[in-house]
Amino acid sequence: MSEKTKSIPSLVKDPELVKVRRNQIIQAAMDLFVQKGFHKTTTREIARESGIGIGTLYEYIQSKEDVLYLVCDHIHSEVEQKLDEEMTHGRTGRETLVNSIGDFFRIMDQMQDSVLLIYQEMKSLPNEMLHYVLAKEELITSRFERILERGIEDGSLSLQPGYVKLTAHNIVVLGEMWAFRRWALSRHYSLEEYISHQTALVLHEMKSGR
């Protein structure tokens, strides 16, 4: 499902074991990064929370930034996996879009901490890793582009082709907005209200068939 992922070198050779231990590390680090942020989390804390020694931690990564990358990559994979599981197809592109927006927003609601984490800590990644993470972000946007294009093709959505990309970005950002403006929004709107209103907003400009 994932396009390309930077592989982080490990001193340990058994790939099964690497997968297991790295999952421990990712879970521990994600919790800590959410609570205290990347810079205020120490490698020792990550090790302790992972249930391994600090030396062992460094058998599976090469630097603290590697952990951040692993976490970001995991979050994107989780988003994509959830989208794969839940993204329900409708008969028309328009129906698919409506369903997908709801699905995506609900995922953003579940994963709000992770979304915030990526927004706030991404810039701490070394340049090469940053590119991989941004590429994954764009991958998610492009899912909506494809849905929009399908709707244009089947006539259920009317949108100038030049604005497909922008509309897709709008959908993604409005979804992420629920995560990073929650402090203001959730006082006034429920998730479902939010979804239905924002869906309407997006559809308004694509009135088709009238």
Partner DNA sequence: TATGAATGAGTATTCATTCAT
Partner DNA sequence: GATGAATGAATACTCATTCAT
- The footprint of a copy of itself (CB under 8 A) covers 37, 39, 116, 119-120, 122-124, 134, 137-138, 141, 162-163, 165-166, 169-170, 173-174, 177, 180-181, 183-185, 188-189, 194, 197-198, 200-202, 204-205
55 binds DNA (CB under 7 A): yes
Q: Which span (5-13, 71-79, 94-102, 163-171) binds DNA, by CB under 7 A?
A: 5-13
Report how far apart, in Å, the C-alpha atoms of 61 and of each of 36, 45, 128, 130 are. Answer: 21, 15, 16, 17
Q: Are 8 and 70 in contact (CB under 8 A)?
A: yes
Q: Please report the beta strands in 40-178, taking only residues with DSSP state E, as ranges in sequence order.
A: none
Q: Closer CB to a copy of itself, residue 204 or residue 210? A: 204
Strand, coil or helix: 50: helix
**From candidates 59, 78, 137, 138, binder to DNA by CB under 7 A:** 59
Non-local CB neighbours of 184 within 8 Å, separated by 6+ positions: none
Between CA 59 and CA 72 the distance in angstroms is 20
138 binds, among a copy of itself, DNA, none (CB under 5 to 8 A by kind): a copy of itself
63 binds, among a copy of itself, DNA, none (CB under 5 to 8 A by kind): DNA
Burial 112-143 (b: 16+ CB within 10 A, else e): bebbbbbeebbebbeeebeebbeebbebbbeb
56 binds DNA (CB under 7 A): yes
**From candidates 58, 124, 165, 203, binder to DNA by CB under 7 A:** 58
22 binds DNA (CB under 7 A): no
Q: Closer CB to a copy of itself, residue 39 or residue 89? A: 39
